[in-house]
Amino acid sequence: MRLASVHLYPVKSLGGVDVDRAVVEPWGLRHDRRWVLLRPDGGALTARTAPGMLGLTAVPGGGSITLTDRDGASVTVAEPVDGPPAATAVSRLDTVRLAGDEAHAWLSARLGEPVRLGWLDDPRRRSVATDHGGRPGDPLNLADAGPLLVATVPSLRRLRDWIAEGARERGESAPGPLPMARFRPTVVLDGPAEPFAEDGWTRLRIGAVDLRVAERCDRCELTLIDPVTLTRGKEPIRTLARHRRRDGKTWFGIRLVPVTTGEIRVGDPVVAG
């Protein structure tokens, strides 16, 4: 197998950027999910309830991110290293540091509701929950449950086949191929592996970086939103519920915790065990 692609999502639930290399840190990929949008009450805003977030893109820079909307308007926001702390309802985290007012106003105008942009200054303040495979000392960025999310191309191909088969059974036209972007993985693997072979993995080496499998990834309603049209449909949850439903949940991908750190590059060999 090989590393087929790498994806960074600097702001939780916003669109991200594809890169050809990334640094694996103890809490995830460098620049991945270090920012979050907060409602006035401190609750995290996500694309599950605000799908317009997927129409905004965040690209990391040196000590900053640049936010861009679909009309090409953009704003660059510096990491607020001395920003005021703001209480947050993000799990296992009490505060984040607030960006400047310009960022809040820019985002609020585009999402149609008041939001504030927060930054996690030190991911060591947050941990991987034990019920998500965390061990003492495992730090975590602002991802829901694990530092890295892995998906494989063979599994996506099988899922696409199942979706097409289901459409034929219902007498419907086959939909276009489901994009991997629906699942928002940080790393995608390809090669001679059986579909869903990742279910049985316990460890992974990408290039020279070792990682352990924390858990399989249960999928939420965010996967139902087309990141291009921002419309909501029934796939892939409908098909996953038919073929990949266990314990009342649907499953696609696995979550990883870094054992060592270092740079990974597209094309790196991958060894699973």
Average pLDDT score, the chain: 97
pLDDT of residue 61: 95
Distance between the two ends of the chain, CA-based, in angstroms? Answer: 12
pLDDT at residue number 131: 96
Whether residue 73 contacts residue 121, with contact meaning beta carbons closer than 8 Å, is answered with no
User: For the residues 140-161, what does the mean pLDDT come to?
Assistant: 98
At residue 113 the predicted structure's pLDDT band, cuts being 50, 70 and 90, is very high
Tell me which H or E stretch contains 7: strand 2-8
The domain spans of the chain are: 31-125, 148-272
What pLDDT was estimated at residue 263?
A: 98
Token couple for 144: 């829901």
What gap in Å lies between CA 189 and CA 271, rounded to an integer?
10
**Preceding amide of 236 cis, omega within 30:** yes
Res 52: pLDDT: 96
Closest CA to 220 of 248, 186, 242, 200: 248
pLDDT one-digit tens code per residue, 212-239? 999 999 999 999 999 999 999 999 999 9
C-alpha torsion 235→237→238→240, nearest 10: 120
36 backbone dihedrals φ, ψ, rounded to 5°: -150, 150
pLDDT of 44 reads 94
